[in-house]
Structure 1
């Protein structure tokens, strides 16, 4: 069940203790993930969000596993990125996915592999009816991942494209 596994990846959902250890850069996080954690991970956007995730899980434990998941390369034994949702499914069964990879691991199909696995998991959960995402109009790599998932571009606002995928 958890972590999710693909041919090349482990994808670990983060419970509160692990999130806290990552935020504090505690050595136990490496042990929990059984992986090396590079100095450049978490990247700035995630680093900024970690306190919010920690607070949310403290006040709403049911938010697990609807937030951060960590992507670990089986071969390298290292954290290569993160993926997750921006909270639990809403009352209409909608969840929003987001993700990032460390630069050295981009353009190798890792995010396609991780996102496919996480979307499959999400659509197996009760009440998930639709997956949404957004990406910058210049982020062609992310657009390719979203297209591979079968997502449809539904709108744009400013520099952002908005995507959706219905659970069939």
Structure 2
């Protein structure tokens, strides 16, 4: 059930009202998450994506929960990062995962824990046959997470490496 619950984290999928509150930096977002939101979150990449996510959910409500998920530390009751998917699975059952952790929380295994929970959740959904991801060739921590998830590097294009993981249940 949602949110996803791991040993140290709660991972919440964002519905349209919560996305809008986060975008507007409305204090109610903290109430919705029952967690504090640090000033440095959302980070720049996510700030730029929020209007797109909001528009997509307005026009395609079934995109929920195939976008932003918020990672909350149980111990601190604080948002420490985000993860999620870049839209619903396509007609071939392929979905792309992405993630970002606040710098102060990196190198503690949080993203491994969060991304593993999301992969497990995704593969339990009907029609998901394959998970893909991409990361910059210089992003060693992200590569380690993808390897930890069991993903296989399948291609490189310029500065980006492309990865995939097949759903063994299909």
- TM bucket (normalised to shorter chain) is over 0.9
Query: Which 4+ runs in 1 deviate beyond 3 A?
Result: none
Structure 1 residue 107, shift from structure 2 partner: 0.2
Aligned equivalents of 2:144, 2:44: Cα separation in 1: 23
Residue matched to 1:16 = 16
The secondary structure found in structure 2 opposite 1:150 is: coil
Aligned equivalents of 2:53, 2:166: Cα separation in 1: 26
Residue matched to 1:107 = 107
Aligned equivalents of 1:97, 1:17: Cα separation in 2: 22
Residue matched to 1:150 = 150
User: Is 1:136 equivalent to 2:122 in the alignment?
Assistant: no
Residue matched to 1:36 = 36
Aligned equivalents of 2:104, 2:78: Cα separation in 1: 12
How many residue pairs get aligned? The number is: 168
Structure 1 residue 90, shift from structure 2 partner: 0.0
Structure 1 residue 61, shift from structure 2 partner: 0.1
- Counterparts in 2 of 1:1-168, with a 5 A limit? 1-168=1-168
* Deviation digits for residues 95-153 of structure 1 (CA, Å, limit 9, x no counterpart): 00000000000000000000000000000000000000000000000000000000000
* Deviation digits for residues 53-89 of structure 1 (CA, Å, limit 9, x no counterpart): 0000000000000000000000011000000000000
TM-score (norm 2): 0.99
Aligned equivalents of 2:100, 2:50: Cα separation in 1: 14
TM-score (norm 1): 1.00
The secondary structure found in structure 2 opposite 1:48 is: helix
Aligned equivalents of 2:116, 2:52: Cα separation in 1: 26
The secondary structure found in structure 1 opposite 2:50 is: helix
